[in-house]
Structure 1
Amino acid sequence: MAQPATGPAEGPGKDPSNTPAGTAVHPVDERLPPARLVPAALQHIAAMYAGVVIPPLIIGQAVGLDTAGMTRLIAASLLTAGLATVLQTVGLGRFAGNRLPFVNAASSAGIAPMLALGEICDRRTDGRTITRGLRTDGIATLLGPVFGTFPTSAFAQNVGVVSLTRVRSRYVVAAAGGALLVLGAFPVLGAVVSLVPMPVLGGAGIVLFGSIAVSGIRTPAEAGLDDSSNIILVAVALGAGIIPLAAPTFYAGFPAWAQTVLGSGISAGALVAVVLNLFFHHLGTHSRTAVALKSS
Structure 2
Amino acid sequence: MSEVTTKHPVDEVLPAPQMFLYGLQHVLSMYAGVVAVPLVVGNALKLSAADITFLVSAGLFMSGLATLLQTIGVWKIGARQPLVQGTSFAGVSTMLTIGASVGGGHAGLRAIYGALIVAAILGLLLAPVFTRLLRFFPEVVTGVVITIIGVSLLPVAIKWAGGGTPGVTPNFGAPKNVAVAALTVLLIVLIYRFLPGFFSRVAILLGLVLGTLVAIPFGITDFSKISDANVFQLTTPFHFGMPTFAVGAIVSMFIVMLVTMTETTADILAVGEVIDQPATRDQVTAGLRADMGASAVAGVFNGFSVSAFAQNVGLVAITGIKSRFVVAVSGAILFVLGLFPVLGAIIAIVPLPVLGGAGLALFGTVAASGIRTLSKVDFSGNANLVIVALSLGMGIIPIAVPTFYDQFPSWFRVIFDSGISAAAITAVLLNIVFNIVGRSDDSEGPIFSEAPPSGAISDEDEERLQMRREAIHPRARQAIIENA
Shorter-chain TM range is: 0.5 to 0.7
Amino acid at match of 2:379: L
Which of 284, 291, 305 is 1:152 aligned to? 305
Measured after TM superposition, the shift of residue 211 of structure 1 is 3.5
Select the structure with the greater relative contact order (CA < 8 A; seq sep ≥ 6): 2
**1:279 maps to which residue?**
433
Measured after TM superposition, the shift of residue 233 of structure 1 is 1.4
Q: Give SS of 2:440's match.
A: helix
Equivalents in 2 of 1:207, 1:164: separation in Å? 20
Measured after TM superposition, the shift of residue 215 of structure 1 is 2.9
Q: Give SS of 1:248's match.
A: coil
Indicate if the aligned counterparts of 2:78 and 2:287 stay in contact, CA closer than 8 A: yes
Amino acid at match of 1:114: T
Equivalents in 2 of 1:225, 1:126: separation in Å? 31
Equivalents in 1 of 2:13, 2:377: separation in Å? 30
How well do the aligned residues superpose, as a CA RMSD in angstroms?
A: 4.4
- Higher mean alpha-carbon deviation, 164-173 vs 265-274, is at 164-173
Equivalents in 2 of 1:96, 1:233: separation in Å? 34
Q: 1:174 to 1:164 in 2, by over 3 A?
A: closer
**Is 2:31 the counterpart of 1:45?**
yes
**1:84 maps to which residue?**
66
Query: Could you list the per-position Cα deviations for residues 9-31 of structure 1 after superposition, in whole angstroms to 9, with x for gaps in the alignment?
Result: xxxxxxxxxxxx989968xx997
**Is 2:96 the counterpart of 1:96?**
no
**1:114 maps to which residue?**
264
Indicate if the aligned counterparts of 1:40 and 1:167 stay in contact, CA closer than 8 A: no
Query: Could you list the per-position Cα deviations for residues 197-249 of structure 1 after superposition, in whole angstroms to 9, with x for gaps in the alignment?
Result: 76666545444433333332233333422232122212221221112212223
Which of 87, 108, 119 is 1:105 aligned to? 87
Measured after TM superposition, the shift of residue 194 of structure 1 is 5.3
Q: Give SS of 2:402's match.
A: coil
- Higher mean alpha-carbon deviation, 114-123 vs 39-48, is at 114-123
Amino acid at match of 1:210: G
- Higher mean alpha-carbon deviation, 259-268 vs 31-40, is at 31-40
Equivalents in 2 of 1:234, 1:126: separation in Å? 31
Higher Rg: 2
Query: Could you list the per-position Cα deviations for residues 127-182 of structure 1 after superposition, in whole angstroms to 9, with x for gaps in the alignment?
Result: 65654344223322443465x42343227xx4456669964856565333211211
Q: 1:214 to 1:144 in 2, by over 3 A?
A: closer
Equivalents in 1 of 2:347, 2:330: separation in Å? 13
Which of 125, 132, 137 is 2:286 aligned to? 132
Q: Give SS of 1:286's match.
A: coil
Q: Give SS of 1:154's match.
A: strand
Q: 1:24 to 1:238 in 2, by over 3 A?
A: farther
Equivalents in 2 of 1:126, 1:270: separation in Å? 27
- Number of aligned residues: 261
Amino acid at match of 2:303: F
Equivalents in 2 of 1:160, 1:239: separation in Å? 29
Indicate if the aligned counterparts of 2:61 and 2:334 stay in contact, CA closer than 8 A: yes
Equivalents in 2 of 1:208, 1:30: separation in Å? 34
Amino acid at match of 1:149: N
Q: 1:209 to 1:151 in 2, by over 3 A?
A: closer
Equivalents in 2 of 1:217, 1:125: separation in Å? 27
Which runs of 5 or more residues in structure 1 are unaligned? Answer: 1-20, 291-296
Equivalents in 2 of 1:289, 1:269: separation in Å? 25
- Higher mean alpha-carbon deviation, 188-197 vs 210-219, is at 188-197
Indicate if the aligned counterparts of 2:26 and 2:312 stay in contact, CA closer than 8 A: no
Measured after TM superposition, the shift of residue 277 of structure 1 is 1.2
Q: 1:201 to 1:47 in 2, by over 3 A?
A: farther
Amino acid at match of 1:45: Y
Q: How does 1:58-77 map to 2 (within 5 A)?
A: 61=47, 67=50, 75-77=57-59
Amino acid at match of 2:417: G
Measured after TM superposition, the shift of residue 183 of structure 1 is 1.5
Equivalents in 2 of 1:119, 1:211: separation in Å? 22
Measured after TM superposition, the shift of residue 275 of structure 1 is 0.9
Amino acid at match of 1:111: M
Q: Give SS of 2:74's match.
A: coil
Measured after TM superposition, the shift of residue 75 of structure 1 is 3.9
Measured after TM superposition, the shift of residue 59 of structure 1 is 7.0
Equivalents in 2 of 1:122, 1:216: separation in Å? 22
Equivalents in 1 of 2:80, 2:401: separation in Å? 38
Which of 245, 260, 275 is 2:414 aligned to? 260
TM-score, normalised by the number of residues in structure 2:
0.43
Q: How does 1:201-280 map to 2 (within 5 A)?
A: 203-280=357-434
- Higher mean alpha-carbon deviation, 91-100 vs 248-257, is at 91-100
Measured after TM superposition, the shift of residue 61 of structure 1 is 3.7
